[in-house]
Structure 1
Amino acid sequence: MAPYVDEALLDDPEELTRKDSRGTLRALASAGAQVREGLTLGHEAGIDRLTDQERPRSVLVAATGGSSIVADVLELLAEPGSPVPVQARRNLPLPGWVGPLDLVVAVSLSGRAPGPLAVAAEAARRGARLLTVGADDSPLAEVCRRARGIHVGTGQTARASSRTALWTLLTPVLVGADRLGLLDAPQSVLEQVADRLDERAEDLRPSSEAFVNPAKILAVQLAETVPVVLGDGPLGGVAAARASAMLARTARIPAPFGELPDAASGIVACFDGPYTTIGGRRHGTYDESRIRLGDIDTSGWEPHHFDEPDGELMERADGPEGGRGRDVFADPYLDGPAPPALGLLMLRDAPAAPATPESVQAESLTEAVLTTAREAGVRVMEVRAGEGDPVVRLADHVAVVDFTATYLAIGLGLDPSVSPHVADLRDRTR
C-alpha cells in the first residue's frame, strides 16, 4: 500500500511550521540570496586573485554528503571546455600525482567534515594550492589559511544543513572556476541563477495551494509510487542524483536514479517487474504529469483537472488504452491492498536551440523510454527546465526537487530536517 499524503496539511501554515522545525522551506527559499551573498563573500575573500595566477595542472574537488553535488556540478560544467581535468574526491587517499601544480577545492558547510578536511590537509602538506568554502571559525579555514590559500566563509544565509545551503557552497566554487577559465560562469550568469531561484521560490512557496503548486502536486504523486528518477542527459543526471539524495535524506523515500543514455536499459527493465501493470501483480492506473518550469501559468486551473496551456502541468486519469483503470472487481479484503505503482520522474533539459543531430537522437531516446513506460502502466512525471545557461537550467531542476522532497516529508508527517535514525547512527559512530 502506498503511503498517504494529506494535501490539506500541505496548505496549513501552522502545520507546515510545526512539522518543519528547522525552517527547511524558508532556507530553500533563500537560494537566490545565497547566490548573491556567495558572490560578495567570494570577492571579499580575494577569489579574484585566481585570475592572475597560473592555471593549475588539474583541479580536484572534495565534498561529501549534502555538499557532494558541488563536485558533480563542477565536473558537469567544466567537462565540455575545461583545458585541465576536473574530478571529485570524497576522502583520502589523495591521488599520488597531486602536488604544487594542482588546485584542491574542499567544501564543507561546518568546515569539519572529515573527508574534505583530510583532503585539504594532505593537499596543503604536499604544497598544492587550496580553495576552501566553509565556516570561518573552522579547522578547514585554518588549514587553508596556513597554506596561504583562499577561504570563503558561509555568511548569514546558510542554514545548519548543507542540503539547504547548496548555493552558499557552490557559488564561490563556480566563481573560482570561472576565474581560472575552466568554465563560463561570470557574475552576469550567476545573477541570472539568483533571479531564477527567486522565481522558483515564488512559484513553489508554501502559501501556494496544493492544486496549483507544482512541487506539492509532484510530492503527492510521488508518494503514490515506487519512484525512479531519470535525467535525460548529463545536466538531468546531476539533477537526478540530487533528487535521489533529497528524497532519501529529506523525505525518507528510496529512489534509484540514472542518466540517459546509459541507464535506459536498466530503468526500462524495471517496467517488467511487479510494480507495473505489465508485471502482472496489479491492474494499474495510468497517470501522467508534466511540469515545465520555464513559464508557469496557473490561471484557470481547477482541483483534479489540469489543462496544459503552452505545455504546463497536465494530469490525466486515462491510459494509453482509453481509460484503463483499477480492477473494479478486486476485493481488498481477499486480494489485499494493491502494491504501489512504479513511478518514473523524468528530469528533462530545455530543448536544444538550434537542434543538433545529437540532441535529436537524445530526444528520441527520451520519448521512447517515456512511451515504453506509459504502455507498461508506469506513472510518468516530467519536469522540464526553463531556458538559459546550463547552470541556470540546473537551478530550475534543483529548486523543484528540493521543494518537492520537503513537501513530501511534511505530507508524510515527517520533519524534513530531523531523522532519529541518522542521530542514532551518529551516536554509535562517535
Structure 2
Amino acid sequence: MVTWFDEARLDDERVLGAHDVALRALAESGARVRRESHDASAATAEAIAGQQGLDQPRAVIAAGPDSRLLRAVLEPWCPVPFVAWPGPALPGWAGSLDLVVMLAPEGSDRSSASAVAEAVRRGCQVVVACPPTSLVAEHAAGRYTTVLPTVTGDQLATAVVMLDYLAQVRLGPRADADSVAIALDAVAQECSPFRDLAVNPAKMLAIALADTTPIVWGGSVLAARAARRVAESIRRASGRTALAGDAEHLVPVLEAARPRDVFADPFADAADVPADLRPLLLVLDDGAEDPVVREQRGRLQAAAARRDVRVETVSTDAATEVARYASLVLQGTYASEYLRIGFVED
C-alpha cells in the first residue's frame, strides 16, 4: 500500500470538517491557558500567603514525567539548586528542607502518584498542579502539600499554573499566562484551517515536510525542548522518522545526506520502490542571540547548504520565554496535523 500526500486536502472543507475535533483542540490552546490560570488563582494566592515569612527551600525538585519542561524554564533562573527527577521516586537526599513540584495534567499516572507520596512521607513541601479529585491529588494529601487545581488535561496550561506560583515565590521567572494565551491565539489565527495554502504557514510547512525526513533543531534550552515536542508530533502524525537533538548530533546526519539527483523521476516506479526521503532541516527560532546558538545554527545551515538540504524556519516574537516556547510548539503541532490530513493511502 502506497502513502502519498495530497495538498489539495488541506483546503478541502469536507476533509477539514472530518478533522474538526483535533483542529479545534489546537485552536482552543489559549483558552485553556486562561481557564487554568483563572481557576487556580485562589489556590495559588492561598499557597503564597502560607509561604510568608518562610525561608527559601534548600533545593527545588521537579518530579514526574513533565519535569524536564519545568527545568528548561527554571534552571537558568532558580536561586537555589534545581533538579528534574522524572522517575517514580525522589533523590535520596530529598527531605523537609526541599520543595517538590509536579505537573500532573491528567492526574492518573501511577508513577507520579508514587513520587508525590514519597515526598509527603519524607516531609517535603509539595506543590502539585493536577485535577483535585485525581489519583495524584489523593496521594499528595499531607500537612505541607498544596494542590493547584487543573481541569483541562493540557500540559502547557498546567505548567503555566505552576510557573505562575513559582514566580510569585521568587523561584522562577514571570510566566504571565496572558502573554502565553495571546501567543497561542495568534498562532491559531495564522494557522487556522479557514486560511488557504497561500497564506497559511502551517499548511505550507506540512507540504515541505511531506516527502522528507525532518531534522528539527532549537538553539536555546526551551527551543530545544520545543524541537523534541514537534518531532514527536510529526512522528505521530506521519508514522515516519523525525529527529530532534543538539547540533553536534544533527550535523553528521545532514552531512550523510546523498547529493540530490536532479535527473531523478519522483514518479517512476513509485508503486514498487519506496521513496528515498531526503532530510529537511527545521529550525525553531525563539529569537535567542547567544553566541553559542548563532554558531550552532551556522554549522547546521552550512552543512545543509553543502548537501543541498532544504531549510525551513519557524519563528516567534512572543513577549516571554514561556510564550515563545508555546508558540513554537503550537506552530509545529498545527503543521503535524495538516501533515496527517494530507496523507492518503492507495
The structure-2 alpha-carbon separation of the partners of 1:48 and 1:345, relative to structure 1 and needing over 3 Å to count, comes to farther
Give the unaligned 5+ runs of structure 2. none
**Identical aligned residues as a percent:** 30
Partner residue of 1:95 out of 91, 98, 105: 91
| Deviation per residue, 1:133-177 (Å, 9 max, x gap) | 22222121122234451112223xx2xxx5xx1232111111121
| Deviation per residue, 1:374-414 (Å, 9 max, x gap) | 22021211112215221222122112012112221222259
1:339 is the counterpart of 2:321: no
Aligned-partner residue type, residue 42 of structure 1:
A
Query: Partners of 2:90 and 2:274 in 1: how far apart?
Result: 51
TM-score, structure 2 length as denominator? 0.89
Residue in 2 that maps onto 1:191: 178
Query: Partners of 1:236 and 1:210 in 2: how far apart?
Result: 26
Matches for 1:143-154 after TM superposition, within 5 Å: 143-154=139-150
Residue in 2 that maps onto 1:8: 8
TM superposition shift of 1:81: 2.5
Matches for 1:2-401 after TM superposition, within 5 Å: 3-19=3-19, 23-50=21-48, 51-52=51-52, 53-64=54-65, 68=66, 71-155=67-151, 158=152, 165-185=154-174, 189-258=176-245, 263-273=246-256, 275-277=257-259, 283=261, 326-327=262-263, 332-333=268-269, 336=273, 338-350=275-287, 352=289, 359-401=290-332
Give the unaligned 5+ runs of structure 1. 284-325, 353-358, 415-430
Query: Partners of 1:375 and 1:124 in 2: how far apart?
Result: 55
The structure-2 alpha-carbon separation of the partners of 1:2 and 1:399, relative to structure 1 and needing over 3 Å to count, comes to farther
What RMSD in Å do the two structures reach over aligned CA positions?
2.6
Aligned-partner residue type, residue 95 of structure 1:
P
TM superposition shift of 1:18: 2.0
Query: Partners of 2:206 and 2:178 in 1: how far apart?
Result: 29
More helix by share: 2
The structure-2 alpha-carbon separation of the partners of 1:364 and 1:109, relative to structure 1 and needing over 3 Å to count, comes to closer
Count of residue pairs the alignment pairs up: 341
Query: Partners of 1:105 and 1:253 in 2: how far apart?
Result: 35
The structure-2 alpha-carbon separation of the partners of 1:35 and 1:88, relative to structure 1 and needing over 3 Å to count, comes to same
TM-score, structure 1 length as denominator? 0.73
Query: Are the counterparts in 2 of residues 2 and 339 from structure 1 also a CA contact under 8 Å?
Result: no
Aligned-partner residue type, residue 333 of structure 2:
D
Query: Partners of 2:343 and 2:236 in 1: how far apart?
Result: 14
Query: Partners of 2:12 and 2:304 in 1: how far apart?
Result: 35
Counterpart of 1:88 in 2: which secondary structure?
strand
Aligned-partner residue type, residue 56 of structure 1:
P
Moved over 6 A (4+): none
